Structure 1
């Protein structure tokens, strides 16, 4: 893997990260949960299925591959629970997706938060590095530190921190050390998955109280602070992007609203690229891109125009027209294409087949080749 390859990311045709879990993996996880097989047996199945999924990604034409998040149950909670000072627990209520009921897992603070050198995601990354061929980049996804701000996850932090600033400093330091260790292991492409911006969009749009709005504006400022502190002074050949999601559970969603209310904050993030959902009217129009993207910047905006929620294939012509429309706000050379989200943000997965998933990713690759001729 070369520095040149890393700095080309995000690629003209790219992906968010999660992929539908194959039947063998689902069966093995059910057997493990039932106590019928041990952790080693589950890991062996995970390894084999990840090898297969990596080969399929490469065959599809993608230059950056993931492990499909096959070792995770949730896109975010598995990672969040493993920082020191955090534990997993059952909150006895579902997350409020539109028309779907989730499991009730959550995380909370039981001490000051800190870097965990034994985080299981490190071994997962090392396995990926061991199986990818030269010329293919491993993309590592982790949830943004802002995920600790919501769903009562940081309610207990006041018991361990005298000030909010102390909490943000520790959280940023834990993330900084984590990202730096991924880099030391060979990672050159890392993505912060983030639903908090969509939550803030939703709250700022629909909250009527000025006092409440100010609370959410402050949360947006805190988000910029903790992300930028976490990313400060990292190696230049490490590409870092963010994916902004409005919720993705069994083809349902959590939030609605265009990017306008948070555009000025997104513009302040010290990132190399933004993966932005744009697969339906809930995502708004392209106008906020003009504020998110700074003229003359080398940042990339990855347009999530192909939905991962439903099986119907988008029209190539329609996708090309949408890209042309976005180019009114961001130069074409700074644009890329992806699906709007992953295909399985939780192990349940969205309501489409594996064949339909690969057709979606193939469409992304084909359209990108035609638009950018690279």
Structure 2
């Protein structure tokens, strides 16, 4: 499936929080919302300037990638989940008013949350039971996000790293995780111009191909976001495992280091990718978010923008100006 909707220059969602935003969060400043609004508007302006093909709010209102659900949903300790506000949809709707470039929203996967939050002997009979309840919450939220004009939703589950690299699942089996995440992303009457993507792993020195094939075949997302910045056999094996009817976003630069990668090295890797599948089915991005946790970035704000410009440069070398 060619990437008809041209989301070629992508990123995982989180951006480095500016110092004034971190200070407002640390102090629980009464004007924190206004400071967040200003920071988001500036981040969107800079994303537009780089000519990214999707923009996000940088996850600037979140403490970490899980908190968007934990802060909006009650009942984890009672065994009955109920949102008391929209986790993402209202903020995503506000984002669409700031730009004509398609807005992207990000969510943690329900299987990832269930594996991390389940406690034996607690309110939930099993991690699977918690995961199924979370899948309903996140499925409803994805539908609400799309209804508000967002065309690209990505869910993240780094918990697939274990099975993909040959480690046994601890809290939630691979089959249960796949079932839960598949339920979350399966929508009735999904608009033709909407992409749903999933990031299952942030590094892949080696992988178990059969696990990758199972994962990619059974979760019905449109796009898989995969690491492609180290040149490892595992990265190549992951790319080979993506079904022909899905597109793939390759993480070609490391968002944790300020140094810019050698362009010739990246282009050599893109040549390898092009030998495996049609580059019309491919997008490029950093290999992870810049700051999944507020204050947890390992590079600075300006280094981040240089990295994104680097990704944009590679995209234009691969596809020209008609992205």
1:176 aligned residue (139, 149, 153): 139
- Structure 2 residue aligned with 1:100: none
Q: Residues 329 and 217 of structure 1: is their aligned pair in 2 closer, same or farther, counting only changes over 3 Å?
A: farther
1:65 aligned residue (44, 55, 59): 55
> How many residue pairs were aligned?
316
Q: Residues 168 and 20 of structure 1: is their aligned pair in 2 closer, same or farther, counting only changes over 3 Å?
A: closer
Q: Provide the rounded CA distance (Å) in 2 between the counterparts of 1:347 and 1:159.
A: 29
TM-score (normalised: structure 2):
0.88
Q: Deviation at 1:355?
A: 1.6
The yes-or-no answer on 1:241 pairing with 2:197 is yes
The yes-or-no answer on 1:231 pairing with 2:185 is yes
The yes-or-no answer on 1:288 pairing with 2:256 is no
Q: Provide the rounded CA distance (Å) in 2 between the counterparts of 1:80 and 1:226.
A: 18
1:301 aligned residue (248, 252, 255): 248
Counterpart mapping for 1:125-204 below 5 A: 125-132=92-99, 134=100, 136-151=101-116, 153-155=117-119, 159-161=123-125, 167-202=130-165, 204=166
Checking the alignment, whether the CA contact within 8 Å between 2:164 and 2:212 is kept in structure 1 is: no
Q: Residues 112 and 364 of structure 1: is their aligned pair in 2 closer, same or farther, counting only changes over 3 Å?
A: same
- Structure 1 residue aligned with 2:319: 372
- Structure 2 residue aligned with 1:25: 21
- Structure 2 residue aligned with 1:51: 41
Checking the alignment, whether the CA contact within 8 Å between 1:191 and 1:243 is kept in structure 2 is: yes
Q: Deviation at 1:167?
A: 4.5
Q: Secondary structure at the match of 1:242?
A: strand
Q: CA offsets, 1:195-242, max 9 Å, x none?
A: 11113334x34xxxxxxx4x5697211122112222223413331001
Q: Secondary structure at the match of 1:338?
A: strand
Q: Residues 167 and 347 of structure 1: is their aligned pair in 2 closer, same or farther, counting only changes over 3 Å?
A: closer
- Structure 2 residue aligned with 1:278: 228
Compute the RMSD of aligned alpha carbons: 2.6
Q: Provide the rounded CA distance (Å) in 2 between the counterparts of 1:160 and 1:194.
A: 21
Q: Secondary structure at the match of 1:140?
A: strand
- Structure 2 residue aligned with 1:8: 5
Checking the alignment, whether the CA contact within 8 Å between 1:200 and 1:216 is kept in structure 2 is: no
Q: Provide the rounded CA distance (Å) in 2 between the counterparts of 1:322 and 1:21.
A: 31
- Structure 1 residue aligned with 2:209: 260
Q: Deviation at 1:164?
A: 6.9
Checking the alignment, whether the CA contact within 8 Å between 1:201 and 1:256 is kept in structure 2 is: no
Q: Secondary structure at the match of 2:181?
A: helix
Q: CA offsets, 1:296-344, max 9 Å, x none?
A: x1x2111111000101101111111101112232222111111001111
Stretches of structure 1 that go unaligned for 5 or more consecutive residues are 1-5, 87-108, 206-212, 248-254
Q: Residues 165 and 46 of structure 1: is their aligned pair in 2 closer, same or farther, counting only changes over 3 Å?
A: closer
